[in-house]
Amino acid sequence: MLLKTVSSSSSSALSLVSFHGGIKDVSPLLSSVSSPIDSSSKGKLSVSVRASKISTADALSGVVFQPFEEVKKELDLVPTSSDLSLARQKYSDECEAAINEQINVEYNLSYVYHAMYAYFDRDNVALKGLAKFFKESSVEEREHAEKLMEYQNKRGGKVKLQSIVVPLSEFEHVDKGDALYGMELALSLEKLVNEKLLNLHSVASKNGDVHLADFIESEFLTEQVEAIKKISEYVAQLRRVGKGHGTWHFNQMLLEQ
């Protein structure tokens, strides 16, 4: 860059000349101060240059950031009541209610799996592998409910637990047998949960809640699809082996996993 001063008897101008030939006016950034004409200057006006107090960001980009002014509207949104969340921001009542509904779904599923664990653990049923599988499934669904509760609190919502439906206690089926019937029931429940999660994701999208949508996608949907695939394979295997000795071998496979 080359700074060039142009002097005349009537006016002075200051330009910024680039090596590529372009000229940019920097008069908002710099100011000039003239001095009296003396005999040695031969009629020319002497110019000195100093920095102006005008912000370079204002002059060059036109963008003005005034944090204390812009934050005023946010300060007005901070609740003063002690029973209201301070962390809540752009979290709709519909999303809050949908999260509470999903918590109830997860707890209901956990309760059903716990009942299935108790059934297969009976001494006259004695399918310890299936009992182990459904006990682990019950714990996993309860962890899902707790994860949703933690998220609800993180966003400034209120967790409202709902009643849980009393599950079945008997899973014997005359034609299919208890193992196949129980696994088909598990598959239908996992598909139902997946549908509920998709509904929750739809609520988040409708309300423009990007964070909630991402949370459902990253923490639940992939895992749910994988669970449906695994249980579908179990159902197919039990249909092949039939009741009796084949079920016992399937049970041993689950026990050793």
Tell me the per-residue pLDDT of 17-76, one tens digit each, with 9 for 90 and over: 444 445 445 444 444 444 555 555 555 555 555 554 555 555 566 777 777 677 666 666
What does the longest C-alpha to C-alpha distance in the chain come to?
Answer: 121
Degrees to nearest 5, angle at CA 255 with 249 and 257? 110
pLDDT for position 87: 82
What is the DSSP code (8-state) at residue 219? I
The 3-state DSSP class for residue 98 equals helix
Distance of CA 64 to the CA centre of its chain: 31
Residue 105: exposed, middle, or buried by beta-carbon count in 10 A (0-12, 13-18, 19+)? Answer: buried
**Residue 119 contacts residue 178 (beta carbons within 8 Å):** yes
pLDDT for position 60: 64
pLDDT for position 240: 95
Which of the residues in the chain have pLDDT under 50?
Answer: 1-21, 23-24, 26-34, 52
20 is in an annotated binding site: no
224 is in an annotated binding site: yes
How far is 153 from 155, CA to CA, in rounded Å? 5
144 is in an annotated binding site: yes
Instruction: Determine phi and psi for 244, rounding to 5 degrees.
Output: 90, -130
Is pTM beyond 0.75? Reply is no
pLDDT for position 79: 67
Domain ranges in the chain are: 93-256
141 is in an annotated binding site: yes
Give CATH for domain 93-256: 1.20.1260.10
Neighbours of 163 (CB within 10 A): 8
Strands (E), 18-137: 23-25, 30-35, 46-51
